[in-house]
Amino acid sequence: MFRIAGAGSVTAARLSAACCRAVTSKQFQVHGASLHVLSSETSRKTRNGPAHRTPPSWQSVRAMASAGESQSKINYLFYGLAVLFGGGGIVYWWSRKYMRETSKDGSTSKKAAAPAAAASKEATEPVAETPVTATTKSEAPPAQPAAAEAPAEAAPDAESKKLLDATPQSYPDYEVMPEIPGHAKYLLIGGGTASFAAFRAIRASDAKAQVLVVTEEEELPYMRPPLSKELWYSDEPKLVEKMKFKQWNGKERSVYYNPPSFYVEPKELAYQENGGVAVVKGRKVMKLDPQKQVAVLDNGWEIFYDKVLIATGGRPRNIPVFERASQEVKDRVTLFRGIKDFKRLDEVSKNASSIVVVGGGFLGSELTCALGKRSRDSSLKVIQMFPEAGNMGKVLPEYLSQWTTAKVRGEGATVKPETFVKRARYSDGKVILKLNTGEEISTDHVVVAVGLEPNTELAKESGLEVDDTYGGFRVNAELEARSDIWVAGDASSFYDIKLGRRRVEHHDHAVVSGRLAGENMTGAKKPYWHQSMFWSDLGPDVGYEAIGIVDSSLPTVAVFAKATEKDTPRAVVEETGESLRSVTETEAEATLPAKEGVRETKVFDLANYPFALFPHPESATDEAPAPDVEAAAKLVAEVEAENRVAPTPKEDYGKGVIFYLRDDVIVGVVLWNLFNRMPIARKIIKEGKQHQDLAEVAKLFDLHADED
């Protein structure tokens, strides 16, 4: 059966259908196959034709028409009009029933004609020159006296033979199917972690679900954390070329969530009886029409959907000084985000003499440590700069930020706090950076890691609301932006039932929100209640995990203890075999009872100490005194002594827990080199209670569990 769906406007499709109805009562009879013309509305569920405005071969249609009589020729004429006015029709090839009547040599047996030898049920020789009609078996014309007397059919041309060569085993003929389906029950926009979590949840609820993923990247869904962590620590270049890495425990793993064999070819998705997941790579969804439930791609192709998820993530934020720079400078700047950026920076780092990392947050600090480690075995010089007083200064308390800065320096990098770029120019193959301190730095390459801008380009064209405060698509507690439209991951501004409206840019949130959106797309109607966590590793020996609102401007209360060999990222991966700690923390037990005899631990509250000791960077003025680092170290040493910890220089802040308070309620927790305790922190935040004695709360984390 041929099906033609209008690829242009609804009006054009209806005009095409009108032409067909006028002559053939909604059907063409062309060389034994029926053609149905469908309007845009009726073809929504079944449209799967070649690319828009690419009609089938006229030679093929003409060949089919020439094989019939005058009615077939008239049908051919009106078929052409339908295709023309439809803006390039969409044609489905031969129906299964007709295919079964197609012989291997390309000739067609006329079912309406009786076989030459009525006694032989195995006869397959066609009766030539018998017009094709819609007669029943009882109306079939009598057999010819002898098949040999019938004139032979003319040999089909090349294109006609290609159509006639199809066999039941090859139906449908995927070679002539469109590369992109015209309909998807579940359409996922974006190929990152949120989409991966969503299609897993969809398939878990709907075992035969057909899921279509459209991504701008030329990659299958993959995880991003290793791009700034483990991949840089591999000693096997061939392994890295395949985008594989060794976890901290030495076990090999791929950054891709699934091998290519897991996915279905997009053109075959509609014919998978048991469902599947297909990925359209290198395409961007430009617009959604919520009323017609259609997504428009950058090539003009339209995909009708039943449910759609927006998981477009974010794009790396740039800074004005590089946006205004010359093209020569821009060509030497990497906005680090995906696989393509990793491959580029990996190659640059092997040949460059110097690299500057702009940004002191999670990504910037991780990349600086990774590049610093690589610089030990080469002449590469790595420089990191940021406007805060220390690494991750927007998240960690000042004293811990200073300690982290020392750790990054220990990895072989030069760190310049309270520094930013004022101008950038190109000279003699180098990028010359003029700093706020008056210093000029010459470098081969610059990496900008200063956060993300959520991808919300769809909002304006699709009538979706963007959050003016947090950015991202504004969604309700069920992550729904509009009817049948969900948003997950970095691009969602969601309502947290405990902490209010938020937007989170971390791996675990992408997993949790993607999974929830997928469940809700299949009818679960669950609110977002899970507190997602995030983590950062400064190499295999220092790492932390955090949950809730962790903002260094909030009052903090911290408790530290002596670390053991088990208190490192390497140790936790060796124990669990899993490098994605959001997975290990999710699987951890809900409670970890404290052991008997746990020593009493005192806490210290930085808010009780003079502002001059730990000034917040944003509140400091030119007249304000600089942080007294020596006094801070002395104070911390005294507190640790009270906690019966005898730290050495390598064990400062070995492991501990930091509470972030808002109105005396714990709204955030950082676990420093402390693992498998996240369920406890999650439970504390979920309770949302005021705690009179945080020392008692700290005991829940059993800081001294692994000490001798």
- Decide if 434 contacts 424 (C-beta within 8 A): yes
Which residue type sits at 587?
Answer: E
- Decide if 44 contacts 50 (C-beta within 8 A): no
Strand order in the sheet with 445-448: 333-335, 445-448, 354-358, 381-385, 414-416
pLDDT higher for 174 or 513?
Answer: 513
Q: How far apart are CA 555 and CA 327, in angstroms?
A: 44
672, pLDDT greater than 90: no
448, pLDDT greater than 70: yes
Output the pLDDT for position 147.
Answer: 43
- Decide if 334 contacts 327 (C-beta within 8 A): no
Output the pLDDT for position 157.
Answer: 62
Q: Which residues of 402-432 are buried (b: 16+ CB within 10 A; e: fewer)?
A: bbbbebbeebbbbbbbbbebeebebeeebbe
246, pLDDT greater than 70: yes
The DSSP code for 626 is P
The DSSP code for 688 is T
pLDDT higher for 577 or 684?
Answer: 684
Inter-residue long-range contacts of 294-302, CB under 8 Å, 24+ positions, other chains counted: 295/187, 295/189, 295/214, 297/180, 297/214, 299/51, 299/52, 300/52, 300/53, 301/51, 301/52, 301/180, 302/7, 302/52, 302/182
266, pLDDT greater than 70: yes
Output the pLDDT for position 154.
Answer: 55
Q: How far apart are CA 141 and CA 130, in angstroms?
A: 9
406, pLDDT greater than 50: yes
Average pLDDT over residues 565-576: 74
pLDDT higher for 66 or 340?
Answer: 340
Output the pLDDT for position 325.
Answer: 96
Nearest to 225 by CA among 508, 547, 472, 454: 508
- Decide if 470 contacts 502 (C-beta within 8 A): yes
Q: How far apart are CA 282 and CA 41, in angstroms?
A: 28
pLDDT higher for 563 or 54?
Answer: 563
Tokens of 207: 């075992």
Output the pLDDT for position 675.
Answer: 84
146, pLDDT greater than 90: no
Output the pLDDT for position 80.
Answer: 57
Give residue 578's pLDDT band: very low, low, confident or very high (50, 70, 90). low
Q: How far apart are CA 20 and CA 17, in angstroms?
A: 5
599, pLDDT greater than 50: no
* Side-chain half-sphere exposure of 589, counting CA atoms within 13 A: 4
Give residue 478's pLDDT band: very low, low, confident or very high (50, 70, 90). very high
Q: How far apart are CA 676 and CA 655, in angstroms?
A: 13
pLDDT > 90 in the chain, percent: 45
pLDDT higher for 337 or 23?
Answer: 337
Most confident of 108-122, 308-322, 491-505: 308-322
- Decide if 221 contacts 277 (C-beta within 8 A): no
Give residue 314's pLDDT band: very low, low, confident or very high (50, 70, 90). very high
* Side-chain half-sphere exposure of 379, counting CA atoms within 13 A: 4
Q: How far apart are CA 545 and CA 585, in angstroms?
A: 10
Q: How far apart are CA 12 and CA 18, in angstroms?
A: 10
Tokens of 619: 């509140």
645, pLDDT greater than 80: no
Output the pLDDT for position 81.
Answer: 55
Of all helices (H) and strands (E), which one includes residue 473?
A: strand 473-474
- Decide if 493 contacts 459 (C-beta within 8 A): no
3-state secondary structure of 328: helix
Most confident of 153-157, 593-597, 655-659: 655-659
404, pLDDT greater than 70: yes
DSSP codes of every residue in 490-528: GGEEEEETTTEEE---SHHHHHHHHHHHHHHHTT-----
Output the pLDDT for position 156.
Answer: 56
Q: Where are the beta strands (DSSP E) in 301-439?
A: 302-310, 314-316, 333-335, 354-358, 381-385, 414-416, 421-427, 430-435
- Decide if 532 contacts 498 (C-beta within 8 A): no
CA distances from 560 to 257, 642, 656, 664 (A): 36, 11, 4, 20
Nearest to 192 by CA among 226, 224, 218: 224
Nearest to 492 by CA among 483, 484, 478: 478
Give residue 127's pLDDT band: very low, low, confident or very high (50, 70, 90). very low
Give residue 611's pLDDT band: very low, low, confident or very high (50, 70, 90). very low
Strand 500-502 vs strand 492-496: parallel, antiparallel, or unpaired?
Answer: antiparallel
510, pLDDT greater than 60: yes
Average pLDDT over residues 291-300: 96
Output the pLDDT for position 79.
Answer: 53
22, pLDDT greater than 70: no
Most confident of 24-38, 497-511, 585-599: 497-511
Give residue 518's pLDDT band: very low, low, confident or very high (50, 70, 90). very high
What are the residues whose beta carbons fall under 8 Å from the beta carbon of 577, sequence distance 6 or more? Answer: 247, 249, 251
Q: How far apart are CA 656 and CA 692, in angstroms?
A: 20
Q: What is the mean pLDDT of the chain?
A: 74
Output the pLDDT for position 74.
Answer: 55
CA distances from 515 to 146, 163, 382, 472, 488 (A): 68, 44, 39, 18, 9
Least confident of 212-226, 355-369, 598-612, 628-642: 598-612
Taking phi over 0 as left and psi of -120 to 50 as alpha, with beta for the rest, 209 belongs to: beta
